[in-house]
Structure formats: structure tokens, C-alpha cells
Chain A
Amino acid sequence: MQDLLNLFVKSIFIDNMVFAYFLGMCSYIAVSKTVKTSVGLGIAVTFVLFITVPVDFLLNKYVLSPGALSWLSPSLKDLDLSFLSFIMFIAVIASIVQLVEMIVEKFTPALYNSLGIFLPLIAVNCAILGGSLFMQEHELETLGEATVFGLGSGIGWFLAIIVIAAIRERIRYSNVPAPLRGVGITFILTGLLGIAFMSFMGIKL
């Protein structure tokens, strides 16, 4: 239980998708102009990560990793399908995003209206595929760990985009050097925020 909590805190603050791995930067820069839209995208990313990481975990564990298919028949224990993981992960992500979009549209039209435009974008958000690839790379062991990691990474991303959006709303009133306006200053701010987030590294877990 404590391990799960550690993993959760670590994936939000220390292993932050944006500040430590620069994942999901495209939409992070493009959408972070106002807090309102950022919240929408943040929720969508968190939600999709929360679902795709555990699903890809099961896929990896029971289909893709070396010898994973031995539950089907012992003769398959030498089969190694891990070369297919990229394509399988992205396929799972694309279909889950599609599925989530349809479900949300059907049951909560209000949420769909606010999230709607962001959902299709998410399939190609690096943070989502990154979540699954890190899950595989870090060799997480249980479904619980994968779920917690997915949720934590999503919340970390959510946090990052809200923080930067809030800053960008304020910075409009400041006198930023003209060539730095917009994208430039956002990069530098993200860097500075990253430095701030690095202070979490010392946390004893």
C-alpha cells in the first residue's frame, strides 16, 4: 500500500510528465492560453491515461512480453511479440479515445460539449503513449501499480497545464520582450517551473 502511495506521489511531482520528460508539450503549449480550456484538456488527459495505462499493462503482460502467451498454450512460451508493442499501444489508445468520446457524448452531453474538441487530439498526445511506454520500461508489476501510475501521471500533467495557464493569463499584463512573446516565454516559464518541481526530488519516499 505504501509502495502505491509512493508511486502516486512520484508520478505526480517527481516524474512529472511535463517537467521531467517533456511529454504532451504540443498541446501543453497550444492549449494553455486560458485556465478554462486547460482544465478541460487536463481532465481529459487524466481520464484517458487512467484507462489506457492499465489496459496496455494487461495487453503487455498477457500478450506482448516474451513468453506472455504461455497461458494460452505452453508451446507459445518462446514467442516474443514485444516488437509489436508500439503499434498495439497506439491502437489501444486510439480506440479507447474513440470509445470514451462516444460514451461521454451519450451519457453526459454537458461534459462532452466542454471536452469534445479535445478528445480526438488526445490520441496523438505524447503523454498518453508515454504513460504506456514508461509502464513497460519501468517494469511495473501489478495492475494496481499501473493504474496508480496512469492516474498519477495524468494528475501531474493536469497540474502542470493549469499552473502554466494561470501564469500565462497574468503575464499578458507584463511587458515581455517582443521576440519572447507567446511561445518563447512559455518555454522559459516551463523551465523555471521545472526547476521548482525538482525540489520535490529530495522527498524521502
Chain B
Amino acid sequence: MSNRYIFTYATVMIVLVAALLSTAATVLKPYQEANAKAAKMVEILKSFGVDASRDQANELFNRYIVDEMAIDAQGKVVTLYQKGKKVKGEGVRPFDLEMKKELKKYDAGQAALFPLYKAVKDNQTFYVIPLYGKGLWGPIWGYIALQSDLKTVSGVTFGHEGETPGLGAEIAKPPFQVQFKNKTIWDGQGNFTPIDVVKGGVENLPKADQAHSVDGISGGTLTSKGVDAMLDKVLHIYKNYIVAQRKK
């Protein structure tokens, strides 16, 4: 076989493969993006107690989420969207902001925007804050929903990429997550206290600390620490906004 044949063969093959793959990627992309978007909506809805399948996610999201905001590090609302339509400010839709990228900008000292969702369900208001941090093996993320007093936690969801099944991965399961319900992020003295994930049992802590602590996962200490650090960091970023809202 001549070199020419080999080159022609390789070229034809590469062209065919490239055409096939880019067609497939282009055709399937809308589905993949819709999936990712719906999965995100499901998580947001779940944080304040709405169980949705991915098919209903869009509908329920539009029903319950009244405000989609992007706030800056000073707690000022920069962009406001309602029912997927822009009301105030400019830039991307808060829903499309990625916590990972914004946190990176924040860490680098650049201007960053953080998404915040205000939901109304059965005449109750909830504020949903997205979370993003590092677990033991890779990224972990989640959503924390606060009640209208911006003090009491209504619910949380967590997700992870590759935490150890049965150990760290338990953060994504209900037994760990239900603990957060009705915990507070402010203590009696008016100090800001993002929820601590502790080792050795919440019931052994002083009474005052129990209200803002949950049990870590036995065997998943490093992942639990990751959750703790994530809550601490992200909630402190939203602190300015929370303080301002509570004063109103």
C-alpha cells in the first residue's frame, strides 16, 4: 500500500468522523442543555420542598420562583428577572450564572455576581442560595433555602461529583439533609453563624450551638468538612444582602 493511499484513507476517515461527530453534537446539544437546566431547576425546587420531575421542572419553576436576582459582593441587587423576563439591570440571566465561575472571580478579587432566588409557596416566602465548594474528591454543590425571616433554614440539597459511595456520598441523601431543617444561621445574640457540620454528635454541644449545627457523616469526615467550609464561605458572601433585608 502506497503512502498516498494511507494519507487519502486517513484524510477521508477524519473528515467523515468529524462531520458525523459535529452533527451529532449539534443535534443533541439542545437536549443535553435542557437536561442540565431542568436538573438545576429540580434541585432549586427541592430545597424548599417541591418535588418535581425533570419534565415538570420548567413549569413548576415558573410557578414558584417569583424573583431571580443577581447580587454583588456588597449585597446590592444588580439584575432582576421575573418569570424568565428581565425587569432590571443587565447582563446574563441570574439562573445562567455559574457559582463556580463567580466564586473564582470573587477569590481573584474581581467583581462577581451571585444568583439568589426568591420563591413563594403557599403564601410563604423562601430565599434560595446556591452553594458550591470542594469535597474530598471533587466539587460539591447544593442549594439552601431560608424562610422569610432569613434566619431559619427551610431545607437543603447537596450534590457531588465523586464522593465515596456510602460515606461522603451520603451528603446527597435525605438522612443528612433533613437535619438542616429549622436550624438557624443567626444565634440568639445576633451573630451570623452559618451552619456547622460537626463531628461527635450535635447533642453533646452546648445548647446554644445546637441550633446551628448538624451531625457530619461518620467515615465521611473530609466531605463533611467540605460541606461546612462551603456553607461558611458562601453564606458570608450573601451576608450583606441578608443583613440589609432583615433590617427592612
Chain A positions near chain B (C-beta within 8 angstroms): 15, 83-84, 87, 137-139, 201, 205
Contact = CB atoms under 8 A, between A and B. Distances in A.
A15 B21 contact: no
Interface in B1-54: 17, 21, 24-25
Describe B's contact surface by its main secondary structure: mixed
A137 B21 contact: no
Chain B, interface residues (CB within 8 Å), range: 10 to 19
A137 B25 contact: no
Given A83-B24, A137-B161, A205-B222, 12 more contacts: A15-B137, A83-B21, A83-B25, A84-B21, A87-B17, A87-B21, A137-B162, A138-B138, A138-B162, A139-B138, A139-B139, A201-B164
The 9 lowest CB-CB distance pairs between A and B, nearest first, are A83-B25, A138-B138, A83-B21, A84-B21, A139-B139, A137-B138, A137-B161, A139-B138, A138-B137
Nearest to B22: A83
Describe A's contact surface by its main secondary structure: helix
17 contacts: A15-B137, A83-B21, A83-B24, A83-B25, A84-B21, A87-B17, A87-B21, A137-B138, A137-B161, A137-B162, A138-B137, A138-B138, A138-B162, A139-B138, A139-B139, A201-B164, A205-B222
Contacts of A138: 137-138, 162
Contacts of A84: 21
Contacts of B17: 87
Nearest to B25: A83
Contacts of A15: 137
Contacts of B24: 83
A201 B219 CA distance: 10
Contacts of B222: 205
Contacts of B21: 83-84, 87
